[in-house]
Structure 1
Amino acid sequence: MKRFVPLLIAICAISVANAQVKVVKPKNIYPVPNITAAEYESKTDLYMEGVLNSPIFDMLYSPGDSWYSESSVAQIYASSSLSSQGSNSYRAANIHDFNHETAWVEGVPGHGIGQYIVYEFEMSNPRITTVYIFNGYVKSDKAWRANSRVKKLKVYYNNSPIAILELQDSRSMQVFDIGTVGRTGSGPRWSLKFEILEVYPGSQYQDTVISELVFSGLDVH
């Protein structure tokens, strides 16, 4: 019995720590239409006219008109990534390539609980207030259902927890206000880390997927 005591204490400590971090639910949810990245970028088909004014198009395929006009990510890395399969790559950089058909997939056995992705920004980079998440493998409904999606994602600013995002289980872009972060710390860069706490299991694979995780914020003109 004694050997279980330290584990119980650790579990209780984690539970208390998480309870002290604010829980954030999505303020907006935009379903992902069955439109390819190439179709978004071509902007030629008549049926696309209404889509070109959509928040998803504005966020991913017209970033020059957004917070990204004066912002950039210095580095992205993950605790693990699933190995490439044929022409399909699942590397960390896919989560921020402004293409909803690619994705970061964690690479450990099981559902990837505790796996994380880190974004580093130069100290002068504009501050962040909002996170946009394409939860799961959103390139198709089949891929989205087959793979696991994130249910709870813990956010750290400069390695200190600031929020737990509660994601809905929908093939969509989900928008979260996390408060204002950035431009503080002792180093040349500041960082945001996103850790998988809980998932919605996929129907075929345990692999947990995030297709895109991008930002908007302050300090741009």
Structure 2
Amino acid sequence: MKKNKKNILITRTINKESPFWQLSNDGHKVIAQSFVDIIPKTIHKIPLANVYFYYSKNAAKYFLSAANVLQYDLSKSEHAAMGSGTAQMLESLGIKTNFVGVDKPKSIAQSLINKYADTSICFVRADQSTQSIQKFWKNEYSEVIAYSVNPRSIKIQEEIHTIIATSPMNLISALKCCNVKNIKRIICIGPTTYNAAANISDVDIIMADKANEESMLEAYIKTSKR
């Protein structure tokens, strides 16, 4: 491999229209692989709340599916998203988003507290969630575990230069599946993944401006010019 060509690991599968293939066109090797299995939980009851906070796209997807099955009316409640990707999922499912987190978890938590501290709130999360917002929530709250994340055992033979991380559990699992000594950079999809990366790695960590492939690619291109 030429000196300036890199092995770039993306922690999810991508379709043929993905902008990430630009990296391949530039001569880099793109390895796109999910490192987790997502398993929906059976939700038997929806807690009554004025606000529902969703940590992830999967949290929103599986919770709203359960609410539909249970014929639970969510239209009178407000809905808050951890980041822009989760907000997009809510909007695609016909749910108006009243709050979208920006920046790191502590900042998101403070903004959420400022807006909703005096009302009832339900946090919707994965079983293995770090509960990065709830840690700062002083008042009572309810929660729903919408899905579980199970790591896959995969061996990555290539020496990875950059990981483009699409979720905390995908990143944690990926780091166990490859040789970490040559990893120089981790590009994160959003604040929860950034927080996880900062806790487990001391390489250069960058958070994309928006939770989409275009923004993650842009973050890689910008930082690769440093």
Task: Report the TM-score range of the alignment, normalised by the length of the smaller protein.
Answer: under 0.3
Answer 1 or 2: higher relative contact order, Cα 8 Å, separation at least 6: 1
Q: Which has the larger strand fraction?
A: 1
TM-score by length of 2: 0.20
TM-score by length of 1: 0.21
